[in-house]
Amino acid sequence: MLLVSYLSAIVSGLASAFSTSYIMFSVMRFLTGLTITGIAIISMVLCVEWVDIEHRTFIGVFVSMDWTLSSMMLSGVAYLVNDWRWLVVTVTSPLLLAVITWWWVPESARWLIANGQLEKAHVYLEKCARMNNRRNFMTDIKPESLANVVVVERGNRNYSYLDLVKTPKMRKLALLTGTVWYGVALTYYGISLNITGFGLNIYLTQFIYGAIEMPAKILIYYSLDSIGRRQSQVGTLVLTGVCIAINLLIPKDMWMFRTIIAVLGKGFSEASFTTIYLYTAEIYPTVLRQNGLGYNSFVARLGVSISPLIILLEDVWSPLPKVIFCAVALFSGMVTSFLPETLNVRLPETIEDIEQTRKRSVCMLSQRDEFLLTGT
């Protein structure tokens, strides 16, 4: 599916660059966004499922740095490439490199084991053992013994999005995470799309918006490891709302101060986005992790699509868009407090891990079992 997403993004991206009408351009950009979202959620799931508990925070934050670096580069690329067609071609071109690197991307051994594909999982784990100089771990491990690491559900069951709402705790989890994702996306893009509203050059503002994400992600890395995922998610959303509220009170002629507060709000908002990707990947079980991230990303895109419409409400009452973004950020932070903490907790594998108790999954692995699931 990662390869399908890469190729689809290339086709739709290039097609949009050569559009002959606005409708064609809109449809192609819609499809491009669809495929880029697929790349994002698949990549995050693969990264989280290939690392151990100790390194999940690092990999979750590190892989999101590409978004930050690209946001900073976008301002320079857009400044140099003024023709919109060539700009679209330029920003689509890195996907060609992604297709080449795809050949070295391994399938998730954790997902293969959870779905009963033990032979394939054994092959990838052997490769991982050689790469990590841990070949001794695989000497006595046979494919059939991998079934003892994860309690695999019997039968060739196919999981779907309906499994997110069939059982009580999964249903509650889907409702809570969906609400938080909607709030995170709405406020993040509400701030990002208002890029001309603070008195600076559009290219400079875009660069600053991207640059502020770097220290924000460094801070959130230490926050995730020290106070946990839930408190970090709550804190970043609340601080985002506070920054928006402060900007409501600052006179428009104080554009420099307004820009500083807006940039801080953008930083906290990006930190909340970084957290929610990692947090959600850790909450959902392996058999539904991709579905869970896909569902939440869909809900988030609803927030993305409505955020520019909310900005238009300033014609009704100038502060109204910021009031809405502030309220949504604060409400989402409150909802986050009802989610479980996942710091130093083993990833759940099946729906039963969610419906019964998470305590059975907390740091109960031997060294060899942990290697079998993560390769480290």
- pLDDT tens, residue by residue, 209-229: 788 888 989 999 999 999 999
Angle of CA points 215, 181, 175, to nearest 5°: 145
Does residue 349 lie within any of the structural domains? no
Which pLDDT belongs to residue 237? 97
Whether residue 119 sits in one domain with residue 16:
no
Whether residue 164 sits in one domain with residue 299:
yes
The parent domain of residue 362 ranges over 109-157+357-374
Whether residue 206 sits in one domain with residue 289:
yes
Burial class (CB in 10 A: 0-12, 13-18, 19+), 183: buried
pLDDT band at 150; cut points 50, 70, 90: low
How far is the C-alpha of 108 from the C-alpha of 99, rounded, in Å?
18
Whether residue 284 sits in one domain with residue 146:
no
Closest of 302, 70, 326 to residue 185, by C-alpha: 302
Which pLDDT belongs to residue 196? 54
How far is the C-alpha of 223 from the C-alpha of 188, rounded, in Å?
20
Does residue 71 lie within any of the structural domains? yes
pLDDT-above-90 percentage for the chain: 55
How does pLDDT run across 305-359, given as a tens digit for each residue?
999 999 899 889 989 999 999 999 999 999 999 999 999 998 998 898 898 754 4
Whether residue 278 sits in one domain with residue 199:
yes
- For the chain, what is the mean pLDDT? 87
Whether residue 119 sits in one domain with residue 93:
no
Whether residue 298 sits in one domain with residue 263:
yes
Angle formed by the axes of helices 65-80 and 84-92, to 10°?
150
